[in-house]
Structure 1
Amino acid sequence: MSVMIANVKMRSDPDGRLLDLVREVQPDLFLAMETNEKWNQALAPLEETMPHTVSHVSDSTFGIHLFSRLALESPEIRFLAGQDTPHVVTGVTLASGETVDFLGVHPRPPLPSQPGTTLGRDAVLYKAALLLRESERTGIVAGDFNATPWETAVKEMRQIGNLQEPRRGYGYLPTFNARSWWMSWPLDHIFHEAGFATLSLERLSAFGSDHYPFVGRLCRISGRGAMPAPQTERAIIREAEQAIEAAKDRG
């Protein structure tokens, strides 16, 4: 199962390069973020080979599209943790007939000039981890997290959801900023539960956005269902739940 993600940068010109990349890679799932009506029209030809879709078009830089070759089960757009950013929550039916969970997330970035603005982002990441933890199926969460792997929220997200970090063994693989030769961080991620193994991870060529596209090729581990949730320290889960409630209150 291959998953490709790309933050298209809403104001960039959809000149066909991203469309060509998706057609070359032929992923099973393609998650596009920052999609407005212009990008909605530009990516529409993908539906010829990826007919299963769910999307939320927006001019607020938080539009989101999921294109899939595989059938989607109960796909929906959800606003996690009471935030105003849309996220994809769906089941994906594999060729074997098994259905796994997929979450596509793109929380708002924190503002360095405003202390405490990580709350909304962190709450979305925690909520995604809790959804996977509570599900009986194994799953994947992917997207532009607006966070690096070494930030506390991402570490706790992985611990809560028992999520594997595919970057281990593949290097730093920064995905932002594609327009800078010196300033770069890994902000785009594909995490999975223990029911998958990583076959390969690749940062693709730039296509005009400030993010590089990113693709992970995963293998469903034969005979293994969703792993039981680990005995995460209750304090960490409680802190995550409190962050989610605080984010909802703040709106």
Structure 2
Amino acid sequence: MKTVLLILSAILILATFIPVIKKDYWTFRVFDYPRFQKITLSLMILILWLVFGVENNPLHIAAFSGLIISVLFLAYQVFPFTPFAKKMIKDSTGDTGYNFSVMVINVYQENQQYQKVIDLLKKEKPDLFLLVETDQEWADQMTDFKKGYPFFIEIPKDNTYGMLFYSKIKISEEYVRYLIEEDVPSIEVTLDDPKLGEMTIYALHPTPPVPSENTKSTERDAEILMVGKKVKKLHKPVLVLGDLNDVGWSHTSELFLKVSGMLDPRRGRGMFSTFHAKYFFMRWPLDHIFVSKHFTLKSLRLHPNIGSDHFPISGHFTLNPVNKNEGLKATLSDKLEAKEKIKKA
């Protein structure tokens, strides 16, 4: 049994510290995702070591000590995404009337449970929503929403990178861009509302670093950071949303927050894991709604499964420029790293 514990301990220790190596290959980056799972498994193995006893030999001591260090390291990384941490975006207080809601849904292209998505949208009535992994059939199913959402951008695709964006708020400018890869679109729009004023929204769905899609995270990281640099130049309310195929605690996500000045509503509230909807133990937050410092948060919610491998997520925000939000600061090293990652792609 102790031999098994030694092997499991070695695997978990390696899985914990492999992501520290800043390599773009999927074999390194895939270990960014399951940090909560690694903490749970490491704690279980530590308990088993205590049950079966740690012998006074170098291998046993190294395995036990390594697991303790791993748990502490992972806890440090995950802690900002618990309700015990400081909230990056402050709660909305009172009702200024400058409120709006947004929903992001990765529908899973092969999913044919269209009515579940339609029913959810009709029930929640977000002011704007983004659907990703949408082909022409998904676009056709959304036709009725064009009455209540007269401003929309539809980019149906058969390669799982289609996007559908619908808004009750007037779109004054719109761009469909292919920032890094020629078959992976992104959306940039400027909304113009009498109460909210001008607001820019970027919708993204970069490729993930997995063998079936892309063996490296280079393109994903570059697309996220390229938008981050664009956002930094704006001096008005901004949202960046979509399935970013990256978790909020990854090095790239943190670098994005630093170079863009954007805020993550998950920090100080919880993980709100959106993927994988069908496997409860293998879940992490891939779908995001990042906002600029101009907003406070009324609510952040996950919604029931709609037949996809992702749960829908929605946020209800208040435009409140005078607040105590605190973002992350970029150092010169951070800026140079972001520039290099973009150049590399």
**TM-score, normalising length from structure 1?**
0.91
Structure 1 residue 207 corresponds to structure 2 residue 207 = no
* Structure 1: stretches of 5+ with no match in the other structure: none
| 2:155 alignment partner in structure 1 | 56
Aligned-partner residue type, residue 241 of structure 1: K
Shift of 1:131: 1.1
| 1:21 alignment partner in structure 2 | 120
Shift of 1:14: 3.7
Structure 2 CA distance for partners of 1:238 and 1:116, relative to 1, 3 Å: farther
| 1:167 alignment partner in structure 2 | 266
| 1:237 alignment partner in structure 2 | 335
Question: Does structure 1 retain, via aligned residues, the 8 Å contact 2:273–2:286?
Answer: yes
CA distance in structure 2 between the aligned counterparts of 1:26 and 1:231, rounded to whole angstroms: 35
Q: How many residues align?
A: 244
* Structure 2: stretches of 5+ with no match in the other structure: 1-99
Q: After TM superposition, list the pairs within 5 Å mapping 1:138-149 onto structure 2.
A: 138-149=237-248
Shift of 1:57: 1.2
Comparing 230-239 and 33-42, the one that deviates more: 230-239
**TM-score, normalising length from structure 2?**
0.67
1:96 to 195, 199, 211: 195
Structure 2 CA distance for partners of 1:233 and 1:49, relative to 1, 3 Å: same
CA distance in structure 2 between the aligned counterparts of 1:169 and 1:236, rounded to whole angstroms: 23
Aligned-partner residue type, residue 247 of structure 2: T
Please say which structure displays the higher CA radius of gyration: 2
CA distance in structure 1 between the aligned counterparts of 2:344 and 2:112, rounded to whole angstroms: 37
Shift of 1:152: 0.4
Aligned-partner residue type, residue 271 of structure 2: Y
Shift of 1:116: 5.9
CA distance in structure 2 between the aligned counterparts of 1:210 and 1:230, rounded to whole angstroms: 31
CA distance in structure 1 between the aligned counterparts of 2:322 and 2:171, rounded to whole angstroms: 22
Shift of 1:222: 4.7
Q: After TM superposition, list the pairs within 5 Å mapping 1:71-150 onto structure 2.
A: 71-82=170-181, 84-96=183-195, 98-111=197-210, 117-150=216-249
Report the structure, 1 or 2, having the larger strand content. 1
**Identical columns (%):** 27
Superposed CA RMSD in Å reads 2.1
Comparing 92-101 and 33-42, the one that deviates more: 92-101
CA distance in structure 2 between the aligned counterparts of 1:235 and 1:169, rounded to whole angstroms: 26
CA distance in structure 2 between the aligned counterparts of 1:230 and 1:210, rounded to whole angstroms: 31
